[in-house]
Amino acid sequence: PVTLKEAFKDDFYVGAALNGRQVNNMDAQGVALIEKEFNTISPENLLKWESVHPQPDAYNFEPADNYVALGEKNDMFVVGHALVWHNQTPKWVFEDEQGNPVSREVLLKRMEDHIKTVAGRYKGKIDSWDVVNEALNDDGTLRQSKWMQIIGEDYLQKAFEFARQADPEMELYYNDYNLWKPEKRAGAVRLVRSLQEKGIKVDGIGMQGHYGIKSPALEEVEASIKAFSDLGVKVSFTEVDIDVLPNPSGRAGADIDATFDFDEKFNVYTTGLPDSVQQQLAQRYADLFALFRKHSDKIDRVTFWGVTDNDSWLNNWPIRGRTSYPMLFDRQYQPKPAYNAVLETAAK
């Protein structure tokens, strides 16, 4: 096989998250790579509340329309991300004109209008929505977000109900990070089971997959694939990247190769990514894809959170000036050793 989508066509969809430059035709090389390699796409930022619905009565659909059109033109599986989240949601959503918190009724109405307007617009075009994103703490308890504080626990149920009403045919997902952690895995199982008990159909659980070179242990990832699949839902890896730098935020990253000059202040290798780390990245991706293939009966899609190293949110985060190398393609749009390593797992 010569492309990712062909290599895994009998296993799962393979995709990438798209940014504004790509959907607005300012990155022709990136788009060419997307059209060649992937059969599913996700919107990195442009369908989040602050992008698509910045003001109470103002929607900004143009980038999202372009995104959906790109997917349709290429016959791709088009994903929506994310209807209800605590991040990248404007402050006005939770406040009245005096800046006081709105009532449960008002917030539920705003949520309903938003979901029905946005998901409704793309009915039959967006194939799967992340309905609720990151509702859990790492210990498996529910995050005390504004949604939770103002509406209460049933905001989850309501979000899924509104989304189902907006488009009865599309897939509805719960999406989160660190779902490999045992306590958080248990929390996600409780969350989805409790929705199912209320008669809500959850189609899938999205495991984001922001990983490091060593952490998490793949046994933990595997345990979550099995536990979620046992709920009768699909499992997808929705935001895959592997950080090759130590991460000052405490998130999974990598050890520094001390034989190379490393700038601690900006969290960068001054002479570029060492070969040794390049090889570790390739091996880690190969191990991960071997696991995905082992469970291809349970896994529906695997989506990278960007296309090239240049696109990744792991640049500049958590430090401005940070230069990371988490993807399969380098800054010149060339496949890295990790790309070949992933393709090789398909041949085995």
List of residues contacting ligand G3I (CB under 6 A) = 44-45, 87-88, 133, 177, 208, 239, 313
Fill in the DSSP letter of residue 55.
B
Angle at 281 between CA 276 and CA 285, to 5 degrees: 150
Assign residue 141 a region (left: φ > 0; alpha: ψ between -120 and 50; beta: otherwise): beta
Give least dist CB 211 to ligand G3I, A: 12
Give least dist CB 18 to ligand G3I, A: 11
Give least dist CB 237 to ligand G3I, A: 12
Give least dist CB 343 to ligand G3I, A: 25
Nearer to ligand G3I, 39 or 89 (CB): 89
Q: Which of 37, 44, 161, 239 is catalytic?
A: 239
Phi, psi of 22 (to 5 degrees): -70, -45
- Please count the residues of the chain: 348
Nearer to ligand G3I, 312 or 345 (CB): 312
Assign residue 272 a region (left: φ > 0; alpha: ψ between -120 and 50; beta: otherwise): left
CA distances in angstroms from 174 to 68, 169, 227, 315, listed in the order given: 21, 16, 14, 26
Q: Which of 12, 111, 31, 112 is nearest to 71 (CA)?
A: 31
**What 3-state class would DSSP assign to 24?**
coil
Give least dist CB 88 to ligand G3I, A: 5
Cis peptide before 168 (omega within 30 of 0): no
Distance CA 245, CA 318 (A): 11
Nearer to ligand G3I, 208 or 280 (CB): 208
Distance CA 188, CA 228 (A): 8
Q: Which of 230, 316, 251, 333 is nearest to 22 (CA)?
A: 333
Give least dist CB 173 to ligand G3I, A: 12
Nearer to ligand G3I, 208 or 224 (CB): 208
Angle at 46 between CA 41 and CA 48, to 5 degrees: 105
| Residue 6 annotated as catalytic | no
Nearer to ligand G3I, 207 or 286 (CB): 207
H helices, E strands: number in the chain: 12, 11
Nearer to ligand G3I, 181 or 341 (CB): 181
Q: Which of 216, 192, 206 is nearest to 237 (CA)?
A: 206
Nearer to ligand G3I, 29 or 88 (CB): 88
Report the residue closest to ligand G3I, judged by CB.
313
Q: Which of 37, 44, 134, 171 is catalytic?
A: 134
Give least dist CB 42 to ligand G3I, A: 9
| Residue 134 annotated as catalytic | yes
What is the three-state SS of 295-324? CCCCEEEEEECCCEHHHCCCCCCCCCCCCC
What residues act catalytically? 134, 239
